[in-house]
């Protein structure tokens, strides 16, 4: 039996809960194809009716093949044109609602997946900000938990930790982020956890510095810091029980971190050299190492399947990892993608440990662009 929808709009939390619980729902994206190409809701149907809806064409959705059995949620960029779509569908007898705030509000949607880590007593939960592609992690062991790269409101981490009976004792960032606002400082303040950041002089608020080789406990588990400069000077990976490697934006499942943000051409070249050395260090780890990156380039599905691969698989996918330093420099510098929107402002806020006045998704709009593949 499907649920009857009453209110004309649905908010992000309710839709993400419906998808996470696998409730029947058809998500209908009415944006232009080029807007959908940037980012989309996993499993959504696409019918490009944007111009027709905006023009007030009453038959804008007449040719869309939409199942009638499940409720429909209409989506656009900001939640306005999708209201017209919702009204047209209701007129045709559909149980339809419009996503309030559209894809901009969806930026904060998330889902999670447990990551099996053989040989570690810790439970690792990958928390995917599916609306943007940021991956953060909750590592629980005994009654303690550690959060890496918090990118969502603190309640998300606190609630998940509470559900498992864990208290968050440490909050870690892999680097100063440029594509999203770090929520680590707020999370640490609210939970009383220790805030650990890679040793650097960029951030202007108090933190406990992490150096290469430092070991942080999480219950009976050990997290060792591996300093891996390149994407940024301070970039650091965290190695859980020598089994799972949290790579931040240094190494992705199909690419490597970009070395050019907040850098001159000369600095980008120097950072690319450092990145090569860092990647040589990482690829020497056990081939069975589970790689857990800081981003994904596709919206994370609501499938509870972790986004991960073994180091051996990553090495076989990422051709750049096998290159000499000079060839690596040539390859990476030739493939730098467009810079993420608002990155200078986001970096400034992350260095100050502040959130913007108003809606943070205004600044964070757009897909993450920290990878070169
Ligand atoms: Fe980054």
What DSSP string describes 310-324? EHHHHHHH-GGGGS-
Alpha carbon of 84 to ligand 1 centroid (Å): 38
Alpha carbon of 283 to ligand 1 centroid (Å): 20
Alpha carbon of 258 to ligand 1 centroid (Å): 8
How far does the chain reach from its first CA to its final CA, in angstroms? 45
Name the one residue in this structure whose structure tokens are 């303040």.
Answer: 189
From 256, 210, 258, 217, select the one nearest 234 (Cα to Cα): 210
Contact (Cβ atoms closer than 8 angstroms) between residue 320 and residue 332: yes
Alpha carbon of 2 to ligand 1 centroid (Å): 41
Contact (Cβ atoms closer than 8 angstroms) between residue 113 and residue 305: yes
Contact (Cβ atoms closer than 8 angstroms) between residue 154 and residue 190: yes
Kindly give the parts of the chain with pLDDT less than 70.
Answer: 1-6, 366-368
The two structure tokens encoding residue 257: 């971190």
What is the model's pLDDT at position 367? 66
What is the model's pLDDT at position 127? 98
Contacting residues for 310 by C-beta, under 8 A, at least 6 apart: 287, 288, 289, 290, 291
From 125, 126, 50, 38, select the one nearest 340 (Cα to Cα): 38
What is the model's pLDDT at position 1? 43
What is the model's pLDDT at position 198? 98
Alpha carbon of 8 to ligand 1 centroid (Å): 38
Please give the backbone phi and psi of residue 3, each rounded to the nearest 5 degrees, phi first. -80, 140
DSSP single-letter state for residue 295: B
Alpha carbon of 296 to ligand 1 centroid (Å): 12
Contacting residues for 109 by C-beta, under 8 A, at least 6 apart: 12, 15, 16, 41, 129, 130, 131
Q: How far apart are CA 251 and CA 232, in angstroms?
A: 12
What is the model's pLDDT at position 6? 58
Half-sphere exposure in the Cβ direction for 162 (13 Å, CA): 7
pLDDT digits (tens, 9 = 90+) for 267-316: 999 999 999 999 999 999 999 999 999 999 999 999 999 999 999 999 99
Alpha carbon of 124 to ligand 1 centroid (Å): 21
Q: In what order do the strands lie in the sheet with 215-218?
A: 215-218, 221-227, 236-240, 244-248, 290-293, 309-310
Alpha carbon of 175 to ligand 1 centroid (Å): 7
Alpha carbon of 179 to ligand 1 centroid (Å): 6
Contact (Cβ atoms closer than 8 angstroms) between residue 109 and residue 155: no
Contacting residues for 137 by C-beta, under 8 A, at least 6 apart: 124, 125, 126, 127, 147, 148, 149, 246, 292
Alpha carbon of 16 to ligand 1 centroid (Å): 25
From 136, 271, 144, 138, select the one nearest 217 (Cα to Cα): 144
Alpha carbon of 15 to ligand 1 centroid (Å): 28
User: Where are the alpha helices (H) located in 58-136, listed in sequence order?
Assistant: 81-91, 102-106
DSSP single-letter state for residue 172: E
Q: Is 285 exposed, middle or buried (0-12, 13-18, 19+ CB in 10 A)?
A: middle
Contact (Cβ atoms closer than 8 angstroms) between residue 289 and residue 365: no
């Amino acid at each position: 039996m499907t649920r009857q929808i009453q209110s004309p709009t649905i908010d992000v939390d309710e839709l993400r809960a419906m998808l996470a619980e696998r409730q029947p729902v058809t998500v209908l994206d009415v944006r232009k194809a080029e807007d959908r190409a940037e980012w989309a809701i996993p499993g959504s149907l696409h019918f490009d009716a944007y111009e027709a809806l905006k023009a007030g064409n009453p038959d804008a959705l007449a040719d869309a093949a939409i199942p009638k059995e499940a409720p429909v949620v209409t989506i656009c960029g900001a939640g306005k044109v999708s209201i017209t779509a919702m009204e047209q569908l209701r007129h045709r007898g559909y149980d339809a609602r419009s996503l309030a705030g559209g894809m901009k509000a969806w930026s904060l949607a998330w889902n999670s997946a447990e990551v099996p880590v053989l040989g570690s007593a810790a439970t690792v939960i990958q928390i995917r900000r599916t609306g943007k592609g940021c991956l953060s992690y909750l590592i629980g062991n005994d009654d303690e938990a550690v959060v890496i790269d918090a990118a969502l409101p603190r309640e998300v981490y606190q609630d998940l930790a509470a559900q498992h009976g864990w208290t968050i004792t440490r909050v870690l960032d892999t680097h100063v982020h440029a594509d999203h606002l770090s929520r680590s400082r707020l999370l640490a303040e609210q939970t009383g956890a220790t805030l650990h950041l890679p040793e650097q002089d960029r951030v202007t608020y108090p933190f406990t510095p992490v150096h290469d080789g430092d070991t942080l406990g999480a219950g009976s588990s050990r997290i060792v810091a591996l300093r891996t400069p390149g994407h940024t000077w301070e970039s650091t990976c965290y190695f859980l029980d020598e089994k799972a490697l949290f790579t931040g934006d240094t190494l992705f499942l199909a690419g490597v971190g970009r070395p050019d943000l907040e850098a001159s051409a000369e600095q980008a070249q120097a950072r690319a050299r450092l990145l090569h050395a860092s990647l040589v260090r990482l690829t020497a780890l056990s081939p069975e190492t589970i790689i857990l990156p800081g981003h994904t380039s596709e919206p994370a599905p609501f499938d509870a399947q972790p986004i991960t691969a073994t180091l051996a698989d990553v090495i076989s996918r990422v051709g750049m990892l096998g290159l000499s330093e000079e060839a690596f420099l040539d390859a990476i510098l030739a493939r730098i993608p467009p810079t993420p929107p608002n990155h200078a402002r986001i970096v400034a806020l992350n260095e100050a440990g502040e959130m913007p006045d108003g809606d943070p998704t205004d600044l964070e709009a757009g897909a993450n662009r920290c990878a070169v593949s």
